[in-house]
A and B are shown apart, each in its own frame.
Chain A
Amino acid sequence: MTYLIRRILYAVPILLGVNVITFVLFFVVNSPDNMARMHLGQRYVTEQAIENWKHVHGYDLPRLWNPEAAGTGHVTRTIFYQNSVRLFMLDFGRSDGGRDIGFDIRQRMVPSLSIAVPVLIIELFLSVAFGLAVALLRGSYLDRWITLLCVAGMSISSLFFIIAGQYLVARVWRLAPISGYAGGLESVKFLVLPVFVQVISGLGANVRWNRTVFLEEVSRDYVRTAWAKGLTESGVLSRHILRNALLPLLTTIVVTLPGLFLGSLITESFFAIPGLGSYTIDAIQSQDFAIVRAMVFLGSLLYIVGLMLTDISYAWADPRVRLAET
């Protein structure tokens, strides 16, 4: 318990650092004046219009230190404070376009997760199965070809997987709609193709990684002992190798958690699915900095939570790991 509290406290400076980075990027490199000009159009812009825009969005405050305000107002009545402290309360404020970001995020979470979760599960299952198979056949021609195939798969841009998937499955074979989304059970029809494409595009790297993980375990002494005892193949696989390879596998899963949230960036926007990924892309393309800032914060929060979960799951998977010591 104390460990958890310590970890959470440790996360605070990191999130603060993230905020400093975004702050530097958005307010120091570019003055709010530029942002206003950007949104209002480059030409034919009056000083007054810029001032108005800045005031409406709260960008007319000083950056770090407000000499005019009284007491704690020195620090609180500034852009940095206003923009970063609110985020810690998970209050994302309004976008530069005037919409409530928090509401948008809650609404768009469902489609995003309904792609990310199936992808995670199917990918894990397939890559572990293939990884094990290849590790057992190590040194054979099949192993060599599958490894080469994995490298080739890694070398293909995810854009091509999406384009090819859309073209073949949706256009030529007409098995699924090309893009779009519907609520409720209807959505399954729309989700099949994006999930399939994303699983395929990640398979190469994952199988290769799992192969190295399993190979490391297969050559250990305890596995030889298990074979020598005359255990069945499935027994050695599931009881010995898989359990010992669990730790590195867990790490990869957790590392991909925030990646899934963002890996859907491209997929969602290609398949026109109203999730968080396409939300971010739209924000980037319309240069809505408030949304980008909110998503940066949310992404790093998820990453840190993921790191914490890794440590906890380590302790669960391997009794030798004691949390208090780490």
Chain B
Amino acid sequence: MVKPVLLPTDVAFLSSLLLVGLYFWAVRRDLLMRERWRTVLATPTGGAAALILCLYVAVAGLDCLRVEINGETKSLLDYLVSPLREHVETTYSAPFAAYGYAREVIPGASGAARQDYPRLRYGARHLAQPSRQMHADVLRRGMAGAGLGLLFLGGLLALVNRLRGRPLAGMFTPLTESTWRLQWLTAASICLALGWVICLAPYYHVLGTDKVGNDVLYLTLKSIRTGLVLGVVSSFITLPLAVIFGIPAGYFGGWIDDLVQYLYTTFSSVPGVLLIASAALSLDLLLQQHASAFPSLLARADMKLLALCLVLGLTGWTGLCRLLRADVMKLRVAEFVTAARALGTPPLKILLQHLLPNTFHLILITTVLDFSGLVLAEAVLTYVDIGVDPSMESWGNMINGARLELAREPAVWWSLLAAFCGMLGLVLAANLFADAMRDAFDPKLRGATSPSSS
């Protein structure tokens, strides 16, 4: 029996994406906004970061669409990468290994047992003599992957040209436009990586396996969803709070301002980690009491993730709120607001039509910056044991499981490296994107921050 399953965080994440999509739909005819977003994408780092973010979002989105078949819930991503999911070894194995990590007792053909490294069940299974054939095989499959990647890239180029209404013959022109070089380079590396993964991952453990034999590449891919859900959903909980408190406080002043100031000083005076820890502990207890309400381990872990998003969102609004308040206080005395007031515009309309759009760039930039902070926070919180559920794939859990394994001989470094790259890619992209956005949206800083690129 096949039926779609939607977990609470899936709903939250997908609807957040929908909201972002709606935003772009809404501003598609706004010339100023179009120009600004074009500037963001035309900045080399900004455009490259946007591509990488899109890749992450696509993976996470695929991981959010689940179906239940015969009592087993799997996401679309699980089906796409099913060889990775199913190739489970017994324990650690290095990237591209054909033999296990530790010696085992292997019964020999003549009945005498010997101590040796066992062949892996799946890694390099198709080779009869891995030590001799492996290099050639990896090289061959690597070439095939590169070819496939180039094919992807060609398709992408053709598609872009088609959309821009250029003839197919001109499809190599974008590469010569120097401003778009980094973006195309990023697209090319993404295509190449995709090609390699498709050609190599079914036959080798490209990033090794972890303690219980799961493919690290699979874990890394699954972790993308956890990190993104945490960052995106928490941000979307933060936004309304900061806006509802911050903008009126700055505009009205008086007792409203006093109250909001009191609220955010109180909240921000509690050290962040402790506040999150306290709230997470309390919610955890609450969940434990209602454990029977969740039918499966997956639903329970998911509820815990949602609770964590809630906690991070409820504790994270003070920074943006303070910024908004200060900005609105400056805007309050601007001519256009005074004019609106003089014309008898009701306060609510001033807030929504004049102040909100004029502080929107601030909201966008701060949200993207906070997002990267949230992704980093996940690892730390998981280390302190108040983060995501241990049964859920996340970068924090990967680090936690592998941090003591560097002490082994030989060191088990691949899990850490994979988590490191996965996190760095996402956070760096978000930071660079926020930078590009600031340059494009904040005219005051346009000259100051990147004089060389303009």
- CB within 8 Å for A157 and B380 given contacts A296-B274, A300-B271: yes
Is B247 at the interface (CB under 8 A from chain A)?
Answer: no
Out of A138, A212, A295, which one reaches B274, CB within 8 Å? A295
CA distance A166 to B403 in the complex (A): 10
CA distance A58 to B308 in the complex (A): 30
CA distance A258 to B351 in the complex (A): 35
Q: A-B pairs with the 6 shortest C-beta distances?
A: A17-B266, A299-B271, A155-B427, A300-B269, A155-B428, A303-B269
CA distance A138 to B435 in the complex (A): 16
Q: Which residues of A contact B22 (CB under 8 A)?
A: none
Q: Which residues of A contact B451 (CB under 8 A)?
A: 138-139
Establish whether residues B285 and A34, one from each chain, have CB atoms under 8 Å apart when the complex forms.
yes
Q: Which residues of A contact B385 (CB under 8 A)?
A: 284-285
- B26-34, B275-283, B296-304, B356-364: which lies at the interface: B275-283
Is B331 at the interface (CB under 8 A from chain A)?
Answer: no
CA distance A30 to B411 in the complex (A): 43
Could you tell me the distance in whole angstroms from the C-beta of A224 to the nearest C-beta in chain B?
A: 15
Q: Does more than half of chain B's interface fall in helix, strand or loop, or is it mixed?
A: helix
- A19-27, A82-90, A124-132, A227-235: which lies at the interface: A19-27
Establish whether residues A159 and B403, one from each chain, have CB atoms under 8 Å apart when the complex forms.
yes
Is A262 at the interface (CB under 8 A from chain B)?
Answer: yes
Is B420 at the interface (CB under 8 A from chain A)?
Answer: yes
Out of B266, B283, B420, B427, which one reaches A18, CB within 8 Å? B266
A24, closest chain B residue (CB): B282
Interface size class of B (residues with CB under 8 A): 35 or more
Is A76 at the interface (CB under 8 A from chain B)?
Answer: no
Out of B273, B406, B428, B431, which one reaches A262, CB within 8 Å? B273
Is B407 at the interface (CB under 8 A from chain A)?
Answer: yes
CA distance A65 to B442 in the complex (A): 53
Is A266 at the interface (CB under 8 A from chain B)?
Answer: yes
Could you tell me the distance in whole angstroms from the C-beta of A17 to the nearest C-beta in chain B?
A: 4
- CB within 8 Å for A139 and B384 given contacts A29-B283, A296-B271: no
Q: Which residues of B contact A261 (CB under 8 A)?
A: 271
Out of A141, A154, A281, which one reaches B431, CB within 8 Å? A154
Establish whether residues A159 and B406, one from each chain, have CB atoms under 8 Å apart when the complex forms.
no
Establish whether residues B384 and A155, one from each chain, have CB atoms under 8 Å apart when the complex forms.
no
Q: Does more than half of chain A's interface fall in helix, strand or loop, or is it mixed?
A: helix
CA distance A17 to B383 in the complex (A): 29
Q: Which residues of B contact A285 (CB under 8 A)?
A: 384-385
CA distance A93 to B259 in the complex (A): 32
Could you list 20 examples of A-B contacts with CB < 8 Å? A14-B265, A14-B266, A14-B269, A17-B263, A18-B266, A21-B267, A29-B282, A30-B282, A152-B428, A156-B420, A156-B423, A157-B399, A157-B420, A158-B380, A159-B379, A163-B399, A166-B406, A171-B407, A212-B448, A296-B278
CA distance A166 to B288 in the complex (A): 36
- CB within 8 Å for A34 and B271 given contacts A163-B416, A167-B406: no
Establish whether residues B274 and A156, one from each chain, have CB atoms under 8 Å apart when the complex forms.
no
CA distance A138 to B447 in the complex (A): 11
1/0 contact trace for A30-73 toward B, CB 8 Å?
A: 10001100100010000000000000000000000000000000
* Apart from the given pairs A15-B269, A171-B407, A212-B449, 6 other A-B contacts in the complex at a CB distance below 8 Å: A139-B452, A155-B376, A159-B383, A292-B277, A292-B278, A292-B281
Is B424 at the interface (CB under 8 A from chain A)?
Answer: yes
Establish whether residues A284 and B406, one from each chain, have CB atoms under 8 Å apart when the complex forms.
no
Establish whether residues A280 and B270, one from each chain, have CB atoms under 8 Å apart when the complex forms.
no
Establish whether residues B278 and A38, one from each chain, have CB atoms under 8 Å apart when the complex forms.
no
